[in-house]
Structure 1
């Protein structure tokens, strides 16, 4: 991911849950030039453009049905404080904070008061 996506309130990482990661990579590669950048965990494919990583593609988890879908992640500076604020505004925490690979940050998923699920991400910034 480039500089965009790392600031408070940016829509950064996006995650696609679908039944065929290979088909999705082929489709979006042909459509907008995304390419597979790696597979940091079994079944989780990172896609991007050039040096930039933009998101991930995964299959539905066992017992978690529903149609294929995109999940955007909004960047926050303090995940714990943002979750507390979201809950105070009527949201529910669906996935409590969990670490990202290589100590790159933490994510959580909330359901807003209208029932829409979205992700929150706090990234650990590393000096170059």
Structure 2
């Protein structure tokens, strides 16, 4: 769907920190049909916007620290970044960066929940965030992988005002009763895959897109499968090591 204005609490942007922006641009162009352009201003630090048509849908940025790993970061809209930072601290999370202005575009905070999963919040000014959501090639779902589901259930509704829809073994996150993502208990080796937010991009054919990713240097993490009564999904790792998902509604 086309997004005219960000909805507080909902995902509004997604960006990839990667060791090789040029290679990442080529990989995701092949996979999701993105075209991208790098901000030429030195102070932008190589920030690169990805688009479908004329609509902004995601971004790439270089790694800025030697110990930093390639990863996607999901951003959630907020009406007040400073208040969100206070809410993160009050709920037991950690503010890692900000609140900070980005030119005249907006104000942001990078934070970690009590289990260590990193996310950001974005207070829009000139730049509202993603202009499409749930369409082919765009962010369609955001899933928290955490070893502490109980803690997450207390943290995120307090910080971002989410609704919770728990069904069976899966928890859905929503705003105003409309779900945009979920949560899955994370049982992997923490040193290899720490708690994280996993973006899922919408594709027309999960199996065909997974095959394209593998042919382009990606790595399969979970093969295509259908969620009972729901979408087809698969999880992958791009050539620089960032994990992501794909889904066909």
Instruction: Give the TM-score, by structure 2 length.
Output: 0.44
Match of 1:73 in 2: 200
Larger radius of gyration: 2
Matching of residue 10 in structure 1 with residue 138 in structure 2: yes
Structure 1 segments (4+ residues) deviating >3 Å: none
Alpha-carbon shift at residue 105 of structure 1 (Å): 1.6
Matching of residue 109 in structure 1 with residue 231 in structure 2: no
Q: Is the 8 A contact 1:25 1:47 kept in 2?
A: no
Match of 1:48 in 2: 174
Matching of residue 28 in structure 1 with residue 148 in structure 2: no
Identify which of 153, 166, 176 aligns with 1:38.
166
Distance in 1 (CA, whole Å) between partners of 2:147 and 2:180 is 20
Q: Is the 8 A contact 2:217 2:239 kept in 1?
A: yes
**3-state SS of paired residue (2:246):** strand
Matching of residue 85 in structure 1 with residue 202 in structure 2: no
Identify which of 80, 95, 115 aligns with 2:222.
95
Deviations 1:18-73 (A, max 9, x none): 1222221221111111121122x32x211111131011112223xx2222111110
Number of residues paired by the alignment? 116
**3-state SS of paired residue (2:212):** helix
**3-state SS of paired residue (2:151):** helix
Q: Is the 8 A contact 2:198 2:244 kept in 1?
A: yes
Instruction: Give the TM-score, by structure 1 length.
Output: 0.81
CA root-mean-square deviation: 1.7
Alpha-carbon shift at residue 101 of structure 1 (Å): 2.7
**3-state SS of paired residue (1:101):** coil
